[in-house]
Each structure stands twice: as C-alpha cells, then as structure tokens.
C-alpha cells in the first residue's frame, strides 16, 4: 500500500514549486513516485532513495582513503577545526533551510567567521546593483495575474527553471490574464539559440557580452533619441520596435539570469537593466526579477539581512558584521590565502568555484556537509552526509521573489541520519564548550 | 523566578494616579504584586530615578520583508552604526533599519515591553514571524494589511460585512496576525497598474469600490469581530500638500461607529502617523506649504472614538518603507535616490526609499513642527501616541528625542533657532504659538496608558497595578533636581534598569539577558462562512502562486512562544 502527500515543495531551484504530489510507502520510509515536478525536481526526490547513498560521515585517512566515523566524531572534528582557525570561511547555505542557516549564524558569530553564500558566484552582482539603484519588483503571482509582456534576459528557463514559464509567466491564466499565453508577448534576449529562445515572439540575439549596450540603447529608444544603425548586433529598427512594445505593455516583467550577472560588466549590467525598468514605469507598470538558482539562496540572504544587515560576503571576524565584496567574498579570500579552513554546507563550490579556489580548499582543512558525493567532497577532510531538506526534513525556504514557503518532510531519512540543523547544533554545543560560553 | 523590589523611585503611573511619587514596586512570578507578597526579593535601588511601567509601541516597522529590504539594500546604513557582541548580547548594526537583534535591544534600552509591527503582507507572514522570533526581549505582534485585498474589495462592493469579517478571521488565524491594518485603501491595488487613489472617493480600478467604502467596511467588520484593536488606518494621499481635508474626510468614516470589544478600547479607528496627513498648501515651498494640524486636531479632539500616533519627523537620514506603493514611487522622483518596489499578489505592495529630512530645508523642519503640534494640541493625551512611524519619519531609537522636544520648549526653540528656515516655519505652522511642555505623567499617558488601551492590552501592559505584566522601566532622571532636556533624552534612551515579564534584562545600563519574547496573535471566534470558504479555495487554485495549505503559518518554528488572544464572536 502507499499514500499520496500533496502540497509538497520542491527543494531544487528558486522556482520553489509547492504543488508536487509524492507517493510514499505506508510506513513513510520509501518514496515511490513524484508527480507535477519537472524532470530535475523529480530527480532530486528520487536521488534520496539511491541504494548506494552515504549514511555515515566519513573522514579522510593519511593515504587519501576514507573511513566511516560517527556524527559525534564528525562534530568534534568540525568544532575543533573552526575553533583552531584564525579566519574560517563558512560557505554555501543555499540548499538548506533557514533554520539551519540561523544556527550557522550563531556559530559564525561565536567564532568570527567569514560567512558567504552561493550568490557570491551567481546573483551577488544583482545584490550589489540593488544596493546602487534599488529594484522595482513583484511577486510571481503579480506576473501570473497581470503581465502581458514577459522578457527573459540572459537565461534559459526551459532548462534551468523548467516550470517557471508554465507556473508563473507565459502560460498561466490569471485574474486579468484569462487568455494565458495568447495574451502575452515573450521576448528572449540571449546570444544562444536556446529552447526558451525558440518559442519567443522576439528573440534578440545580442552579441556575447554586449548586454549593457543593448540595455542602454533601449533607454535611448524610450526617449525617442537617435540610435546608431546597429547596437550589440541588433538593428536599430528592432530596438525601437521592442522599446515601443515595452512602453505599450500593460504590465511587463524582465527576468534575468547568469548570462548578465556573470558576464562582462557584471553588476553594471544589472544596474542598467533596473534603470530600464524604472524608466518604463514612467509609461506603464514594469517589474524586474533575478532568476535565483538554488532553492534557498534567497533565504540565506534574508536570514543574514535580519541578523547581520547584509545579504552575502559577511565578515564577522571583528565582533560586528562588516561587508565588502571583493574583500569579504569567498573566492577573494581563498585565492589570497586569507582563510585557514573552510566549512561548506548546502552547496558545491568544488564544482562552481574557479580552480585556484578549489586548490586552496584542498590545501587547508575542509569540512563538507552534503547528502551527495560531490566535487567538493573530493577535496574535503570530512564529509558529513545529512538528511535531504524538503524530502526528509522540512523547514523554511525563500522563493526567487522572496516569498517564504515551508518545505515538508515526506519520508524518513535512512536510519541514524541527522539533519543539517541537528549537525550544526552539535557543532555549536561543542564550540560553546571550547569557548567557555 | 527571582523576585524584585524597585525601591524609592519616582513612580509615574496615570492608572494609579501617581505623578512622580516615591513608591516601591514589587515583581514576582512575572507579574506586578503588592510589596507584602515578596519573600526574598532582590533590591533595585531607583532613588532619584523615574519608574514607569514598560512602554508599549503602537506602530513601528521593525520586522518583515520590506524592513529586510531596507537593511539589505542599504549597507551604508551600517557604516558608522554598529555595536559588537558582548556577553549574551549579540552583534548589532543599522542606524535607521537595525537588524532584528538590534531592534530588540533598542526597544529594551528605551524601556519598551511590547511592540506592534505595523504592516505585515499576509503572503510574507512567515518572514515577518521569523524576524519577530529573532527579535529578543520585547513581546511583539503584527498587523496584516487588508486595505487593498481582493477578497475584501469584492465583498465590500456589495457591502457583505459578514463575509469580510469571516475572511479577516480566517486570515488572522492562518497568518497569526493581531488586527486589521489598512494602508492607502484602494490606492495600492491601483498601483498594480501604476495608478493611485488620491481621494477617499476615487474608485479602485476594476474593483469599483471607493477608499471610503473600504475604510467603513473594515471598521464595521472589525467591530463585528470584536477584536482587541481597532481598524488601523494610513489614509490616502500621505505626504501630499493640501491633504488635510482628505484626512478629515477619512476620519469622518468613523462617525456613527462605537467600539464593540471586551478589551477596554474606546476607539474604532486608529489613524497612524497623522503628521504626514495634516498638510495645507499646494507645494512644499516655504511660501506655499502650511500646517493644518490645528484643523485636524479640532476634529480629532471633538471625537471620542478615534486615536492616533504622530509619526514625528526627527530630521535624520532614514529609510522610508510602506505598503503605500505609489507614494514611494513618487518619493523616489522627489529625491532621485534608489527605489525598491514590491507588489504582492491579491494583497498589497510595498516601496522602500532612503530619505534625508534635512534640518536646513524648510519642508523638513515644517514636517518636524507639525508632528510636535499634533501632540501639543491634543486634549486627552491617552488618544495621542508617540511614534516616528519608524523608520519612515525617523529611526526608532529617536523616541527619547521626541520625548525631549515634547517636554521642553527650550529644546524645540533650539531646533527652530538653529535652522535656516526657522522663521518661515514659525509663520507657516502653529509651532511658534505653542508653549505647552508635556509632563512625565503625560508622556506615560502617551507611551503606556494610551497605547496599551488602544491595542486592547490594558489588562496586561501600561500600568504598575498588581496583576499586570512585570514590565518595569527605570530611567536615570531626577524630576526634583534635574532640569536639562538633554538629560531627558539620554535617560529615556538608556534605561538604567529594565525588567521584562519579571526578568531583569538591563542591569545598571547593561543588557544581561535576551529574555523570553512572546509573539501575540488574535484568534477570532468566527468560522468561515460557506461563501468565503468557497472563494478562498477557488482563489488559491486560480490566482495565488502558493497552495492554500502552504499559505498557513504554523506555530512551531515561526511562533515558538505564542500568546494567543481568543476572541468570542458576537
Ligand atoms: S521548476 Fe524548479 S522547483 Fe519547480 S519542480 Fe522543477 S526543479 Fe523543482
Ligand atoms: Zn507605518
């Protein structure tokens, strides 16, 4: 026999779909099937059921091989490593719940850690741009209920956020958008011929790295000023045409991805994309939103915001919080050799950081808390597998529009396994003992 | 729990009718008790100091999504304003938008025991609760916003008060909210299309109700549910020159309604930050703009079912944040600073813009003057509450400065004499004609008695009568020998001792405990009507982007230490 659990939240991408249905065995130990999820979301749930899944922490031997250790030993090692470091880096936090993030903050404060999340290699530039110019935005339901013009800039949602278009932007029929996709115009700005671009009404094939120019040209066009014949590979007629369509939209939105946040000009691209949106509010209603990747990278920035005042790159080493991306950002800290240990949780920097940083991680003591074997665990001295958040334990996560949603537990974790939060609490208790507080 | 006796202080408590009288206050098991009930109390020597009940804040923004936007998008707000951790006290940061942890400490230092977060977007209730949970010491509650909610507007189109009440009851339960907030009624929904409702008679696009109908309907539903607090209003056209008539028209919506509640309040309408709504003239210019505080107060003083808070401008660089989306857009055009907007599906919106109230501008000082005038023209001080609509008109830690100004003509004159436009402000506003100085007794009426009564909490807070919550603030100011306004400000911002729910939080000026904060929420007795039940289910399926089951905020993680007020239906 089996039972169906509804309203399940997918702990994979920032789309944070909350309408999944999961079939589990009657005793709640086996996950049998997932419906409503996209392929990558379903995989995340099914992965938790893998037979070869690690269920015990493992410590690296001198010769590079692993030996199993208990969670107690793992917590002892982690606490000692953090306590003995002059400047530890605690990185990741994007694929775990806010409850774990909060315990992490308490640890970071106690030991004066450098705290950073995956925004540092993703939408950190967006966070900086918002600090420069603000951001006119909305919840995804506003898009669903009102938007008649959807723009994806520098991203390929069909692959990276597979249900984004069907749930929120292009296809849903909302309150003022009863015609669904027939009432909407889709523009994709991308140098590549992606699957998302192939269904667009207008595909602006911007020259690689020339997004800033194109955004700037749109601002010129809004004002009816003169453009050169071609900007960023796009003929001026096309730019005027799109600019006019944007001004005439009833409610428009720009979703942007790593194609603009991490290419030439970085935060300046986002600055001007936001200014484009500001301009458009002179004529109509327009919003702009980052396509946040990890399902709870947004939550990490929120939790640190209310606890420290900054969304990423938080330096706690002086007893109060400081923020200076470029100085207090993980890769800069690693490459300059400023940190002497790394504690990774809820992310895979081994796969996403530049080689130079990963090499440094290999040289200094490194703990990785992650349900999976990943490129990061390859350079770690201690790997602590934990329960899957959103599958084997619930907890709060923030969607890309900062809407907080509580993820749910749908099956038991394998016998004896603990959660991120529980493991962090074990480390915290030990640190409090070591520090005598 | 330890017993305390606060000895020999000058006690100020209007509920006891004592005004700077030497008395001992006893605290046991978290409550105020008769001194004879103590066995082996610890003594707190309050000689030469003022002793009051813990203060109650009726309106500030210290937790939730827009507050966090303010923090995260203003690193500069922390540049020169942070405090290192020390002992049990955690790190603090932020001048106008302090971190959640810092907020708790700031309120404690000012002697506040209860704080109302004034605007909670229901879809973000979980976030608001996470922040309140992490705000140490002070008890808190939050008011969900209803003034632009699709359900409310649709029911009010046909004046279906029972359905509005039923929906409010359901929403308070699922969001763990406290009462009914209404911000720029209708105007924020219009902002979904880039428009606004400027007067109380402007119909809301598509929904075809007027702000007046929304205000009246929410008052009626609030009384139908017999809630502890009244409807809490931020009316249309905030900050606009000439808006005072709109304000009076909005206040008139309360006419004919009488409080219907077991919680001791008299008002059916609380108007917040009235300062922003008492403007005459046609522009912000020093020859055009004028104060209409007297006109507004003439009306308010003549009513017995309205309370208000002032929203005092403190002449600082601060961060504005409100569910009045169109206003923030407008503001960003006035100062050309960064602007955040966030429209929230089916419910509301928010805007955030940094703002500098320049003491060398005419308008900044005129706004400052109007806030003072409203308080100084009030007849019954329990109806008028001290706020800075923090952080909109000024940071929350400026409350003591506001108290100083209200208590000292000298301190007020100093502002006017030192600024460039003092004479224009004196001629365009009423401030020059007013020499009233408030007493400690009146300050206690404004910050203790009035606010706790207004929120329906006078059975717990705002008084030192035996049986009340053990919230006691001790300020180092001697009313017999001290005569320095600066010392008033310092004393009210740096409580010498603060006891919260019977626990010593500040000892000799130092924070020694993070307390046991509670989150208050109201559970109305009314069940969902069949129609509202159907509508809620349908709208979640069709228009929300979260499911109905995922919308509800569960207590466990988010409200770990709840104080639930159950209200019986009529
Ligand atoms: S779109 Fe993202 S959140 Fe939704 S099911 Fe797919 S992976 Fe999960
Ligand atoms: Zn307010």
The predicted-structure confidence for A91-149, as pLDDT tens digits, reads as follows 999 999 999 999 999 999 999 999 999 999 999 999 999 999 999 999 999 999 999 99
Instruction: Return the structure tokens found at A404.
Output: 């907080």
Q: What is the pLDDT of residues A348-361, one digit of tens each?
A: 999 999 999 999 99
Q: Residue A428 has which token pair? A: 């915290």
Rounded distance between C-alpha atoms, residue A352 and residue B438, angstroms:
62
Contact B343, B349 (CB under 8 A): yes
Q: What is the pLDDT of residues A43-93, one digit of tens each?
A: 999 999 998 899 999 999 999 999 999 999 999 999 999 999 999 999 999
Chosen from A4, A134, A297 to mutate, greatest number of chain B CBs within 10 A: A134
CA distances from A268 to A130, A259, B75 (A): 10, 13, 18
CA of B323 to the centre of ligand 2 (A): 8
pLDDT confidence of residue B143:
98
Q: In this structure, is residue B428 part of a structural domain?
A: yes
Q: Cβ(A158) to ligand 1 under 6 A?
A: no
Q: Is A161 in the pocket of ligand 1 (CB under 6 A)?
A: yes
Question: Does the beta-carbon distance from B93 to A316 stay under 8 Å?
Answer: no
- B68 to chain A: which residues are within 8 Å by CB? 302, 305-306
Q: Is there a contact between A396 and B194 if contact means CB atoms under 8 Å apart? A: no
Q: Which residue of B has its CA nearest to A401?
A: B342
Domain count, chain B: 1
- Report yes or no on B189 lying in a domain: yes
Residue B314 lies in a domain: yes
Given a contact cutoff of 8 angstroms between Cβ atoms, the answer to whether B67 and B462 are in contact is no
Under 8 Å between Cβ of B477 and B491: yes
Nearest CA in chain A to B150: A175
Band (pLDDT 50/70/90 cuts) for residue A437 is confident
Report the CATH number that the domain containing residue B260 is assigned in CATH. 3.20.20
Which chain A residues have a beta carbon less than 8 Å from that of B192?
142, 146, 251, 285
Rg (CA), chain B: 22
Of B190, B270, B180, B167, the closest CA to residue B237 belongs to B190
The structure tokens listed for B483 are 């005569």
First to last CA, chain A: 51
pLDDT for B570 equals 65
Give the Cα separation of B556 and B291 in Å (integer): 49
The verdict on B153 touching A (C-beta cutoff 8 Å) is no
Residues 6+ apart with CB under 8 A from B147: B181, B182, B183, B184, B185, B186, B188, B211, B214, B215, B218, B233, B323, B348
- A395-398 and B18-28 beta bridge pairing: unpaired
Give the Cα-Cα-Cα angle B316, B317, B322 (nearest 5 degrees). 105
Assigned token pair, B11: 């006690």
SS3 B18: strand
ipTM of the complex: 0.97
Q: Quick check: A251 and B193 CB within 8 A? A: yes
Q: Which residue has the tokens 């400690």?
A: B440
Which of helix, strand or coil describes residue B351?
strand
* Residue B117 domain flag: yes
Per DSSP, B397 falls in state G
Q: How far apart are CA A352 and CA A94, in angstroms?
A: 13
For residue B379, give its domain range: 54-454
**Cβ pair A97, A395 in contact under 8 A:** yes
- pLDDT per residue over A140-181, tens digit each? 999 999 999 999 999 999 999 999 999 999 999 999 999 999
Task: Give domain status of residue B178, yes or no.
Answer: yes
Task: Tell whether B563 lies on the interface with A, counting CB pairs under 8 A.
Answer: no
Tokens found for residue A165: 């278009």
Instruction: Check: CB of residue B105 under 8 Å from CB of residue B168.
Output: no
Q: Which residue has the least CA distance to atom 7 on ligand 1? A: A41
| B397 inside domain | yes
pLDDT digits (tens, 9 = 90+) for A366-422: 999 999 999 999 999 999 999 999 999 999 999 999 999 999 999 999 999 999 999
Give tens-digit pLDDT for A4-15. Answer: 999 999 999 999
For residue B373, the SS3 value is: helix
Ligand 1 lined by A333 (C-beta under 6 Å) = no
Alpha-carbon gap, residue A197 to A195, rounded angstroms: 5
Inform me whether the C-beta atom of residue B340 falls under 8 Å from chain A C-beta atoms. Answer: yes
Would the CB atoms of B124 and A145 count as touching at under 8 Å?
no
pLDDT score at A307: 98
Nearest-CA distance B237 → chain A (Å): 19
DSSP reduced 3-state for B475: strand
Residue A367 Cβ < 6 Å to ligand 1: no
Facing A308 at nearest CB: one of B77, B93, B194? B93
Which positions of chain B have pLDDT values less than 70?
570
* Rounded CA separation A260/A266 (Å): 6
Contacts of B67 in chain A (CB under 8 A): 306
Q: Which residues are near ligand 2, the ion (C-beta closer than 5 Å)?
A: B 118, 389
Per-residue pLDDT of B119-155, as tens digits, reads 999 999 999 999 999 999 999 999 999 999 999 999 9
Span A124-290 CATH architecture: 3-Layer(aba) Sandwich (3.40)
In this complex, do A109 and B78 lie within 8 Å of one another by their Cβ atoms? Answer: no
A17 CA to centre of ligand 1 in angstroms: 6
Q: Do B101 and A307 touch (CB under 8 A)?
A: yes
The reported pLDDT for the residue numbered A192 is 96
Per the domain annotation, does B232 fall within a domain?
A: yes
Contact B505, B515 (CB under 8 A): yes
Say if ligand 1 is within 6 A of residue A405 CB: no
Q: Which residues of B touch A140 (CB under 8 A)?
A: 345, 545
CB of B307 closer than 8 Å to CB of B296:
no
- B6's enclosing H/E stretch is strand B4-13
- On the 0-12 / 13-18 / 19+ scale of CB atoms within 10 A, A178 is exposed
Q: Tell how strand B503-507 and strand B510-511 pair up.
A: antiparallel
Q: Under DSSP, is residue A39 helix (H, G, I), strand (E, B) or coil?
A: helix
Q: CB count, 10 Å around CB of A225?
A: 9
Residue B422: inside a domain, yes or no?
Answer: yes
A-B Cβ pairs (cutoff 8 Å, strict): 185
Q: Across the interface, do A306 and B546 touch by the CB < 8 Å criterion?
A: no
Q: Please give the backbone phi and psi of residue B396, each rounded to the nearest 5 degrees, phi first.
A: -65, -30
Measured CA to CA, the distance from residue B422 to residue B441 in angstroms comes to 30
Where are the extended beta strands (E) located within A294-402? Answer: 314-315, 322-323, 341-345, 366-369, 382-384, 395-398
Distance between first and last Cα of chain B:
39
Could you confirm whether domain A58-118+295-435 is CATH 3.40.50.740?
yes
């Amino acid at each position: 026999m089996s039972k169906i659990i509804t309203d399940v939240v997918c702990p994979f991408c920032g789309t944070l779909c909350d309408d999944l249905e999961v079939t589990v065995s009657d005793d709640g130990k086996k996950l049998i099937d997932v419906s409503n999820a996209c392929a990558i979301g379903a995989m995340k749930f099914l992965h938790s059921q893998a037979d070869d899944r690690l269920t015990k922490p493992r410590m690296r031997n001198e010769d590079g091989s692993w030996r199993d250790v208990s969670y107690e030993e793992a917590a002892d090692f982690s606490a000692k490593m953090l306590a003995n470091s002059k400047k530890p880096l605690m990185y990741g936090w994007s694929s775990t719940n806010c409850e774990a993030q909060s315990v992490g903050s308490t640890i970071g404060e106690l030991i004066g850690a450098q705290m950073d999340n995956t925004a540092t290699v993703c939408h950190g530039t967006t966070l900086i741009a918002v600090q420069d110019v603000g951001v006119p935005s909305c919840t995804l339901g506003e898009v669903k209920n009102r938007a008649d013009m959807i723009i994806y800039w520098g991203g390929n949602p069909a692959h990276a956020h597979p249900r984004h278009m069907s749930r929120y932007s292009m296809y849903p029929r909302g309150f003022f958008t009863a015609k669904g996709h027939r009432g909407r115009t889709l523009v994709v700005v991308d140098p590549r011929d992606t699957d998302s671009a192939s269904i667009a009404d207008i595909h602006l094939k911007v020259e690689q790295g020339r997004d800033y120019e194109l955004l700037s040209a749109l601002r010129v066009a809004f004002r009816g000023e003169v453009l050169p014949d071609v900007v960023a590979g796009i003929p001026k007629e096309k730019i005027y045409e799109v600019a006019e369509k944007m001004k005439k939209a009833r409610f428009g939105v720009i979703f942007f991805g790593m194609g603009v946040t991490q290419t030439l000009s970085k935060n300046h691209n986002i600055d001007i994309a936001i200014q484009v949106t500001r301009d458009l509010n002179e004529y109509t209603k327009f919003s702009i939103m980052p396509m946040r990747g990890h399902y709870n990278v947004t939550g990490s920035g929120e939790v640190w915001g209310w606890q420290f005042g900054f969304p990423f790159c938080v330096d706690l080493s002086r007893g109060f919080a400081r923020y200076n991306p470029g100085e207090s950002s993980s890769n800069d800290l690693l490459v300059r050799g400023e940190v002497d240990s790394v504690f990774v949780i809820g992310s895979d920097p081994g796969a996403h950081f530049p080689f130079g940083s990963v090499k440094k991680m290999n040289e200094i003591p490194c703990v990785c808390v992650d349900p999976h074997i990943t490129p990061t665990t390859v350079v770690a001295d201690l790997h602590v597998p934990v329960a899957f958040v959103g599958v084997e334990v619930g907890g709060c996560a923030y969607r890309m529009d900062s809407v907080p949603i509580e993820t749910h537990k749908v099956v038991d974790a394998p016998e004896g396994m603990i959660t991120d939060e529980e493991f962090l609490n074990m480390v915290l208790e030990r640190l409090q003992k070591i520090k005598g507080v | 729990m330890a017993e305390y006796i606060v000895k020999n202080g000058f006690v100020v408590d209007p509920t006891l009718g004592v005004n700077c009288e030497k008395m001992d206050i006893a605290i046991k098991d978290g409550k105020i008790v008769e001194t004879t009930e103590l066995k082996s109390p610890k003594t707190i020597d309050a000689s030469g100091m003022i002793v009051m009940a813990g203060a109650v804040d009726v309106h500030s923004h210290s937790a939730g999504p827009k507050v966090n936007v303010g923090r995260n998008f203003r690193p500069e707000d922390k540049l020169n304003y942070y405090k290192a951790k020390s002992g049990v006290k955690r790190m603090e940061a932020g001048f106008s938008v302090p971190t959640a942890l810092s907020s708790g400490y700031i309120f404690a230092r000012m002697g506040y025991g209860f704080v109302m977060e004034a605007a909670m977007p229901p879809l973000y209730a979980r976030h608001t609760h996470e922040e309140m949970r992490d705000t140490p010491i002070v008890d808190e509650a939050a008011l969900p916003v209803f003034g632009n909610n699709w359900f409310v507007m649709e029911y009010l189109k046909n004046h279906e008060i029972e359905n509005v009440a039923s929906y409010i009851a359901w929403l308070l339960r699922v969001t763990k909210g406290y009462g009914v907030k209404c911000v720029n009624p209708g105007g924020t929904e219009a902002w979904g299309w880039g428009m606004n409702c400027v007067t109380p008679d402007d119909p809301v696009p598509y929904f075809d109700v007027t702000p007046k109908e929304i205000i009246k309907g929410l008052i009626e539903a609030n009384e139908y549910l017999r809630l502890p607090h009244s409807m809490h209003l931020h009316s249309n056209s905030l900050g606009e020159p000439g808006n005072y008539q709109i304000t009076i028209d909005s206040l008139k919506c309360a006419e004919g309604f009488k409080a219907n509640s077991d919680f001791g309040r008299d008002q059916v309408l609380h108007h917040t930050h009235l300062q922003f709504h008492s403007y005459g003239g046609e522009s912000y210019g020093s020859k055009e703009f004028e104060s209409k505080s007297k006109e507004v107060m003439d009306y308010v003083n003549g009513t017995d079912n309205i309370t208000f808070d002032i929203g005092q401008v403190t002449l600082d660089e601060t961060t504005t944040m409100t569910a009045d989306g169109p206003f923030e857009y407008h503001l960003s055009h006035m100062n050309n600073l960064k602007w955040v907007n966030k429209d929230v599906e089916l419910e509301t919106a928010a805007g955030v813009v940094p703002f500098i109230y320049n003491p060398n501008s005419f308008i900044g000082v005129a706004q400052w003057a109007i806030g003072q005038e409203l308080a100084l023209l009030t007849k019954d001080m329990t109806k008028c509450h001290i706020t800075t609509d923090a952080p909109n008109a000024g940071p929350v830690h400026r409350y003591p400065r506001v108290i100083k100004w209200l208590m000292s003509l000298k301190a007020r004159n100093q502002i006017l004499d030192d600024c460039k436009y003092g004479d224009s402000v004196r001629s365009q506003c009423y401030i020059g004609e007013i020499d009233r100085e408030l007493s400690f007794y009146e300050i206690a009426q404004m910050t203790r008695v009035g606010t706790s009564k207004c929120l329906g909490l006078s059975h717990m807070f705002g008084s030192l009568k035996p049986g009340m919550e053990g919230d006691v603030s001790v300020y180092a100011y001697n009313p017999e020998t001290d005569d320095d306004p600066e010392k008033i400000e310092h004393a009210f911002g740096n409580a010498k001792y603060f006891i919260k729910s019977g626990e010593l939080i500040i000892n000799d000026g130092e924070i020694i405990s993070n307390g046991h904060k509670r989150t208050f929420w109201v559970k109305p007795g009314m069940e969902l009507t069949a129609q509202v039940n159907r509508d809620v289910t349908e709208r979640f399926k069709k228009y929300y982007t979260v499911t109905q089951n995922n919308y509800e905020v569960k207590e466990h993680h988010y409200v770990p230490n709840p104080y639930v007020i159950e209200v019986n239906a009529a």
